[in-house]
Structure 1
Amino acid sequence: MGLSNLGIFHTIIGIVAIVAAVVAFVRNGKIDLSRVTGKIYFYFTVVTSLTALGLSHVKGVNPGHILALLVLILVSLAYYLYLKKKGNNKFRYLENFSLSFSFFLSMIPTVNETFNRIPVGHPLVHGPKDPLIGKTLLLLFVMLIVGSILQLRRQRKINKSL
């Protein structure tokens, strides 16, 4: 696979973050920072994003670095809202969307790297412009939109009941 030690660490931490997010979505319909899965997602995503800044075949800033910074901003915003705006449930909409959108953005390089490397020796695609990557990301985007609408509706019910 040709991964550096940093690349291996980044991949393992990233997989843990993704698994935590998927478990959170299945169990709670959202990434909830008050639960263990949400905390794992948050901390492991921060580490994954920071290590992504040290990975590159190209000198200088590249799209992967920009995505990592956007993810860091989104999870930091969500964490801030979670800690500082506990009594104001209107901020839960933005918190939920920030975490879901950070997950979607994390999946862009994940899908690209995975499809370009797996299975070893015979990868599913040969390059980031392969239609399979585009179709997969489109499916994930549709899931983001549908999931965000469901989260919004669920949060609205929670807010009305309080």
Structure 2
Amino acid sequence: MASLPGRMFFWFTVATAVTGLFIFRHGGFGVPHVLSLLTLAVLAIGWFGDRRGTRGGFWRHVAVVSYLLALFFHFIPGFTETLIRLPLGRPWASGIEDPRLRQPIGAAFVVFLVAAVWQVLRVRALSRRRS
């Protein structure tokens, strides 16, 4: 989180998750609230990992994967809210519980897994070069 874009991502994601707790109104406490709380927890773990893993190692990997997981969490409501509204007049998904939403979210999860492995290998290689 040393770069300006990294700090912006962190703080805008915190703001989105916190404000989301007060915006979601689908019959009380539900899945969107859990996702917001999970996002905040993952960001806290990433922040802690950043503080502990300044020279690489396990905590640096934790930070990188945590921030990447927070990014993946953005795709869940992004796909959901988009696909229950578009295309206009005949949305792709009928609602937030539509099983068809598992396809794009699952694909995003696979991309997350590939990116997480790539990032861990990249951090490991950078750590070895510094040693």
TM-score range, shorter chain: 0.7 to 0.9
User: 1:89 corresponds to which residue?
Assistant: 56
Matched AA of 1:56:
F
CA distance in 2: counterparts of 1:160 and 1:148, whole angstroms: 18
* Contact 2:93–2:100 under 8 Å retained in 1: yes
Q: TM-score, normalised by structure 2?
A: 0.87
Q: Report whether the alignment pairs 1:111 with 2:83.
A: no
Give the conservation status (yes or no) of the 8 Å contact 1:50–1:68. Answer: yes
Alpha carbons 2:56, 2:124 under 8 Å: kept? no
Report the Cα distance in structure 2 between the residues aligned to 1:85 and 1:137, rounded to whole angstroms.
Answer: 31
* Aligned-residue RMSD, C-alpha: 1.7
For residues 93 and 38 of structure 2, the distance between their equivalents in structure 1, rounded to whole angstroms, comes to 26
1:149 maps to what in 2? 117
Rounded to whole Å, the distance in 2 between the matches of 1:74 and 1:54 is 19
Please say if 1:42 is aligned against 2:4. Answer: no
Percent of pairs identical after alignment?
26
1:75 equivalent to 2:43? Answer yes
- Partner-residue secondary structure (3-state), 2:94: coil
1:158 aligns with 2:126: yes
Contact 2:39–2:70 at 8 Å: present in 1 too? yes
- Deviation at 1:120? 4.3
- 3-state DSSP class of the match of 1:117? coil
TM-score normalised per structure 1: 0.72
Cα shift readout 1:40-93 (whole Å, capped 9, x = no counterpart) = 1111100100111012233431111011001011112212332x2253411110
- Supply the AA of the counterpart residue of 1:143: V
Query: How far apart are residue 111 of structure 1 and its match?
Result: 0.9
Q: Are the equivalent residues in 1 in contact too, given 2:54–2:60 (CA < 8 A)? A: no
| Structure 2: stretches of 5+ with no match in the other structure | none
